[in-house]
Each structure stands twice: as structure tokens, then as C-alpha cells.
Amino acid sequence: MNNDKKYYQVFCENHQLPIFYQPWWLDCLAGENNWEVAIYKKSNEIFGVLPYYQKNKIGFKFLGLPILSQHLGPWLIYPDGQKNNTKLSFEKEALSFLISQLPKANISVIKFHHSMQNILPFVWNGFRSSVKYTYLLKDIHKKETNLFENLSSNTRKNIKKAEKTLEVFESEWSA
């Protein structure tokens, strides 16, 4: 394991990153030798990471996400007490540095986590962007009745019709 991956391992242990960013996930789905990580450090502290999967196929170099990974892109830890304008400057500096650490590739696919909203440094560096939406349904299990009441009458009618022919139950199945 190279030094950047060792630093990244410690970074992941100290911060709550999604499963798709975890080194063990990347090892399993990309292969230990098929992923790397760009690291943004300041004063010997890591403030940003950008793990990526790399693959060569028919002479083309591809950077992207391993199979079954919903997103994989930059992850930043903001210094305490930043104002909005300093936050934007920090993002520009950190993301630009991370981008500069990426190897050249014929095709690069980076899917940001929904919490990352500033893609401008990528656009400024020649990446094209497209928008896909993620909807978060927080505490949905606590508001089931309210949720049902806010559905259209046609949807409620279809659910009631389906309840007559389907049985839904919870099991204690575990993997």
C-alpha cells in the first residue's frame, strides 16, 4: 500500500465518508491495484481527498467509479469558522489541487456526492457536467401517515388496490 492510501485509510477512519469511499470497498470492487487517491494537505493535515478507479482498455485510459458504486468524487473537510467567501476560496484551491493530481485519461467520470455542490473548478479544468438529482427522504418511516395523505388520490387508490392482492411484511433476514 502506498503512502497516499495509508493516509487515506487514516482519513476515512477519522471522518464519516460514505461506503463507496471506503478503502475496503474500493479494494473489493475495483481491486487493490486499480484505484488511487489524490490528497489535498495543508499544514500536514488532510482537508480533501479524491479517490478514483483507473482502468486501461484497448489502449484507452479510463478514470471513474468501480462497479456498484453510486458516487465517488472529491470529499472536503472544511476548516472551522469559515465564512461563505472563504469557503468558496477553499473549495477552489482544494478542488483545483485535487484535479491537478489526477492522471491524464481519455475518459473521466466523476459522480459527486450530493453534499458537494461546487463543480466549477472541474468545469474550469475542461470537465463537462450534467446534473442528476438525488432526493433525500429524511425520517420517512416516522411520517408514513403524512406521506400517504400527501400522495395524489390516484396513487392512494392504486396502493389500496395493490394491498388487496399483495402481502408486505418485515422479516428478520440477515446476510
The CATH number linked to 17 is 3.40.630
| Residue 55 confidence (pLDDT) | 93
| Residue 174 confidence (pLDDT) | 57
- Domain holding 32, by residue range, is 3-124
Whether 85 shows a pLDDT value over 90: the answer reads: no
Does the residue 35 lie in any domain? yes
Instruction: Pick the range with the lowest mean pLDDT from 10-19, 82-91, 125-134, 164-173.
Output: 164-173
- Mean predicted confidence (pLDDT) in 99-120: 92
Are 65 and 43 in a shared domain? yes
**The residue type at 152:** S
DSSP state of 111: B
**The residue type at 170:** E
Are 99 and 162 in a shared domain? no
Among 120, 124, 106, 113, CA closest to 76: 113
Are 33 and 71 in a shared domain? yes
What's this model's pTM, rounded to 2 decimal places? Answer: 0.77
Does the residue 115 lie in any domain? yes
C-alpha cell at 21: 469511499
Average pLDDT over the chain, rounded to an integer: 90
Does the residue 91 lie in any domain? yes
Furthest CA-CA distance within the chain: 63
DSSP state of 60: E
Which residue do the cell numbers 491524464 mark?
104
Whether 12 shows a pLDDT value over 70: the answer reads: yes
Residue 171: pLDDT band with limits 50, 70, 90: confident
Does the residue 173 lie in any domain? no
Are 16 and 96 in a shared domain? yes
